[in-house]
Amino acid sequence: MIKVSHLKKSVDGNKKQVLCDISTEFAQGELVGIVGASGSGKSTLLRCLALRDSWNSGDYTWNEDKLIEGGGKGSHKMRSRFAYLEQNPSLYPERTALKNVLIGQVGQVSAIRRFTGMVRSDDYMGAMDELEKFGLLDKAHVKAGKLSGGEKQRVAICRALVHGAKFIAADEPTIGLDPKSAERVIETFSQLCKTQGTTVVTALPLELAEKYCTRIWGVQSGELKIDIVGRRLTAGEKRLIDLA
């Protein structure tokens, strides 16, 4: 079980509170969809859960292991288990999909490995296996700058998994994608949760969250207003998070 207790996050020298005393718990292997209006705090919550932003206060527990106690950002060693996927994946456009998977992401692997591109020979087959699982084997040697938006998202997911991620926080990964590509990305997340026990928390349009997610969080003004098992939201629940 993953537990978040009294998470608070402020910015601008602690003058503005962005996340207000959030507490929740969810099981490993869940697909959690975060919904809410723009500016509600979804992105900040994702970054805090992925150990990319410091917490002002609160506790974060993963199967009884204390990742954060009383605030902070967690140890660098623990961060390798957590991946954060931006709306536009931060891939090296002049490097191939395979090379991007191998060298990893900021915050998950060492800077030396990322900037030199140094990899172990036995990493190649693992990376190729992941690309094959996601239908990208034929794109392995294509430069990332020539991939479609949906393909870039799937390369970013492969990259996270190859480097040991057990938790993926994805910030609106379907923005800018056509409906078919958007559904394929979310179906990829769903399969990861079901077959590999990976935990995925992602900010999504409401209709996709209702269709695919095992749990839905509704955020409004930095507060967790809705925390339910995945289903369609009622009209009252939508009004609660400014989505009516």
Residue 33: which CATH number?
3.40.50.300
Q: Give the whole-angstrom CA distance, residue 207 versus residue 197.
A: 24
Q: Which pLDDT score is estimated for 189?
A: 95
Tell me, what amino acid is at 24? T
Q: Which pLDDT score is estimated for 132?
A: 94
Low-confidence residues of the chain: pLDDT under 70: 105-122
Residue 68 belongs to domain spanning: 2-240
pTM of the model: 0.89
Q: Which pLDDT score is estimated for 117?
A: 54
Domain count, the chain: 1
